Amino acid sequence: MRYLSTRGHPDRKRFCEILLEGLAPDGGLYLPESYPQVDAATLQKWSGLKYHELAFEILSLYIDDIPAGDLQAICRKTYTAEVFGTPEIVPLKKLELGTGSESKRLYLQALSNGPTLAFKDMAMQLLGNLFEYELARRGEELNILGATSGDTGSAAEYAMKGKKGVRVFMTSPNGRMSPFQQAQMFSLQDANIYNLAIDGVFDDCQDIVKAVSNDLEFKRKYRIGTVNSINWARLVAQVVYYFAGYFQAAAQRVSFTVPSGNFGNICAGHVARMMGLPIDTLVLATNENNVLDEFLRTGVYRVRSAADTHETSSPSMDISKASNFERFVFDLLGRDGARVKSLFSEQIAATGQFDLSADPAFKQLRERYGFVSGSSTHADRLATIRSTFESSHIIIDTHTADGVKVAFEHLQPGVPMIVLETALPIKFAATIVEALGREPDRPAALAGIESLPRRVTVLPADVQQVKGFIATHCA
């Protein structure tokens, strides 16, 4: 299996090369040259596997430069009941909403039982083990630079803390995460973890990561890698739980609703569908920052400025530049790297947007790729949290509420709808209190986390200052 850049760079690389590299040399994102195809017989064979076994089967289709026995051991070490709280790892829960048969077709897929209570743990725990394995095999070190709007940061830091040969420099928008999210990250005292609170929004953090990654001299000198979903390993790990959800639903076809800000989570669903998983519809749910919803409805991708990026009660989706979206556009446009490069590195830089509404490929968006979308507001969030609790006695977080709200707009007869849970509600306690008048349950191990000492450095949204911090702490 070889990987290519979405912007047409001529190099073709193997998995372990791109695992440590992040962005391609031309600023593009890596994708496999083709998606492995899974037929009905293979699906039947996989249907009874344990999660770590399923992970191995899927990952081995994309990873041929790690010996099979070693990859099996990594999957077995990663996906355990001790780490994820249940032998099923990602169990489905029926949501008893609505009436009649409608209520029986909506499920919640529990993805937030890992160490940081967010779906990012599903891929990040694997990534930490892959990094440690490959760095030990090479006798090298890696300095990870990441950006987070809330959950990626803590998931990465908990996965990488104590790992040999790895340092983490995690940028986040200063003051824009929930108090619990901030406490999870900033309370870590491990010597290989550095938190950088950037005066700006998430998109500023993401721009810094991309700028550093595109400085090839600096990147090579300081061995910079990434854990954001621009790293293909993150995304392919997420493909696994789409298959697991399908098998649990026990239906011929299923649909998924995915709360989405950076397009990584739902892009994994796109990959699963391209592989042959019988997904009828991929429903993208946004909050008030509805850049992706706007594109899927109109064909216009319009990046918003920091000033126009709303601060919402589902803050992990307060994103106006969806970096993973480039992967889907590459597929949508017939894998035309030159055209993708023009759209993302030229048109957006010049005008802040591009328009594919007249392109024949966009007109086949629903039929060929299964995408539809919708958006949600703070009032919708509150109403959905209340109705879910009243009907199912389940408290959902704010992002999952966006998903449930939009899912109901796209239910189809005879097709189960699976909403991907994104986090446990304790991470957004203030909005839960507003909706229900009570605090959500908190795991005992995280009691009082907000009062712990913090280790964080505040920096302006300036690439050179971030580079200087990395250089100083890698000396």
Angle (CA) 18-80-316 rounded to 5° is 60
Residue type, 199: D
Phi and psi at 352, nearest 5°, equal: 80, 10
Residue type, 116: T
Tokens of 435: 């909706």
Active site residue 120: yes
| Pairing mode, strands 254-259 and 279-286 | parallel
Residue 362 belongs to what H/E stretch?
helix 360-363
For residue 133, CA distances in Å to 16, 53, 127, 183, 211 come to 10, 19, 10, 29, 27
Angle (CA) 410-107-276 rounded to 5° is 70
Tokens of 31: 């994708």
Please spell the DSSP secondary structure of 231-289, one letter per residue: SHHHHHHHHHHHHHHHHHHTSS-EEEEEE-SSSHHHHHHHHHHHHT--EEEEEEEE-S-
**13, 45, 93, 120: which one is catalytic?**
120
The number of angstroms, rounded, from the C-alpha of 286 to the middle of its chain's C-alpha atoms is 14
What residues are annotated to the active site? 120
